[in-house]
Amino acid sequence: MMDMVLRKEIPLSKEACRYCGIAVFAVLTIVGAFIRIPLPFTPVPVTLQTFFVLLSGAVLGGMGGAGSQGMYMLLGLAGIPLFTGTGSGLAYVCGPTGGYLAGFIAASVCTGRLMNNSRHTFLSALGIFIAADMILFLCGLLWLKVLYGYSFTVLVYMGLLPFIPGEIVKITVAVALYEKIKTRSREIFA
């Protein structure tokens, strides 16, 4: 069934497909924000967003991925309650998760730029997704440092270590999914 869908011709122009892809990944990031697990020892919850952030860059390319995450940010900044916990606005972005939100754009660009070569193996794609995810977390940790002034050790315990098991699962599934759709997504979005 999936092969039939992937082989189906799309009668839209490539430009229209790119805009649709940007909108779809913005919506998927919104959905990922509502799939969350709050942790008692950190102001940052576990969400499904990073799965879609990394996949947006790989599928849409660096600029398309950044466009989808930029759209997500702009909608949230405009007051639509779509950030984690139904947050919105500038005050939310300036809160503890603001650095991670900015990292969404950086990580999607990184993923897209590094995945530009079509000859990646599963392991090299996995390495690229991990590197992009680390950029996302670095943005989050730096913002937490600015907000709270915690030591590096506290920041790592609060803003990185609790997320590693979930990130391993999300990244592995995202790469496996990308490997299945990469040829077709390049035909549609490249």
pLDDT, tens only, 47-106: 999 999 999 999 999 999 999 999 999 999 999 999 998 899 999 999 999 999 999 999
Q: Which domain holds residue 185?
A: 11-189
Give the residue carrying structure tokens 């759709």.
181
Cα within 13 Å of Cα(2), Cβ side: 4
Instruction: Indicate the number of domains in the chain.
Output: 1
Q: Is residue 6 part of a domain?
A: no
Q: Is residue 4 part of a domain?
A: no
**Contact assessment for residue 68 and residue 22, using Cβ atoms and an 8 Å cutoff:** yes
Q: Is residue 2 part of a domain?
A: no
Q: Is residue 1 part of a domain?
A: no
Q: Is residue 3 part of a domain?
A: no
Q: pLDDT band at 13, cuts 50/70/90?
A: confident
Q: pLDDT band at 120, cuts 50/70/90?
A: confident
Q: Residue 176: which CATH number?
A: 1.10.1760.20
Q: Is residue 116 part of a domain?
A: yes
pLDDT of 185 reads 83
In the chain, what is the straight-line distance between the N-terminal and C-terminal CA atoms, in Å? 24
Contacts of 92 (CB under 8 A, 6+ apart): 76, 83, 98
Q: Is residue 133 part of a domain?
A: yes
Q: Is residue 171 part of a domain?
A: yes
The first and second tokens of residue 28, run together, are 């998927």
Helices then strands, counting H and E runs in the chain, come out as 8, 2
pLDDT of 6 reads 57
Whether the full predicted model's pTM is greater than 0.85, yes or no, is: yes
Cα gap 6→157, rounded to integer Å: 42
pLDDT of 76 reads 96
Tell me which amino acid residue 139 is. Answer: C
pLDDT of 12 reads 64
**Contact assessment for residue 45 and residue 29, using Cβ atoms and an 8 Å cutoff:** no
Q: How many CB atoms lie within 10 A of CB 58?
A: 28
Give the residue carrying structure tokens 């079509």.
118
